[in-house]
Amino acid sequence: MNQKKVLILDYSVDRLETPNIKACLPADVQVSSLFIDTEDSFPDDLGDRPFTHIIHTGSALSINETAPFTAKAEKFIRETRARRAPQMGICYGHQLVCRALIGTHAVRASSNGFEVGWRPVTFPGNAQALLGVKQVETVWHHHFDEVVELPEGSELLATNDHTRVQAYINFQQRLIGTQFHPEFDKERGNRYYVNDRKFIEENNYAVDELIQQGPSFDTGQVFFNFFLEKV
């Protein structure tokens, strides 16, 4: 059996995404990561390296603003799709993949504003069967932007009353995306909320209330294993 070689492209400003994702991946997976903040963050030969799976992480950046690395990231995403390598996008990374493959009109600032906290999402019947989850589950949120158009052939996996596209799968193009963050378990997720207390409370949410809650299932195990085995 060929070893899975995962490349994490980490767009996070605080550099917390890579260790959180690594904690969710099986021990036998070979993991490499690159912190992406400039155009030079993408080596010219990156597409030639033997990665089997690519993960695009979340970020405090807004997808509606062009970053120094945006053009190279979008080119890499398109080239990776052409090579048929599976790609997973999380929050900002999910939005970046859709922007790269569809255009800037595929993403926007959420009309419902900031979504934060352990909030429910609904999984339709097809997603319940694919993922082994219940119809309604609780997951970790922290975002202002959203995807409003998906790559052709995509199937919605999760939704809620704040953000219609909470998760999707595209088997043909070998893509999966989540607006929520499966890499945060209760401990890591609530620690993030406590550390981000000032910002969250400036946006009218009570952190002490948020941290009384947690996920309803092991989101990291379910989503990363599905990505590695099924996409």
Query: The tokens of 199 are what?
Result: 């910002």
Tell me the backbone φ, ψ of residue 89, rounded to 5 degrees: -115, 140
Out of 24, 56, 91, 137, the active site residue is: 91
Q: How far apart are CA 24 and CA 220, in angstroms?
A: 5
Q: Is 98 a catalytic residue?
A: no
Given the residues 53, 142, 143, 181, the one annotated as active site: 181
Tokens describing residue 175: 């893509």
* In the chain, beta strands by DSSP E: 5-10, 30-35, 53-56, 87-90, 107-109, 115-122, 136-143, 145-147, 155-158, 167-170, 175-178
Q: Give the separation between CA 147 and CA 177, rounded to whole angstroms.
A: 10
- Cα–Cα distance list, 220 to 26, 69, 98, 183 (Å): 10, 27, 22, 5
Does residue 183 carry a catalytic annotation?
yes
From residue 200, alpha-carbon distances to 43, 203, 204 in Å are: 36, 5, 7
Does residue 181 carry a catalytic annotation? yes
At 180, is the secondary structure helix, strand, or coil? coil
Q: How many CB atoms lie within 10 A of CB 221?
A: 14
What residues act catalytically?
A: 91, 181, 183
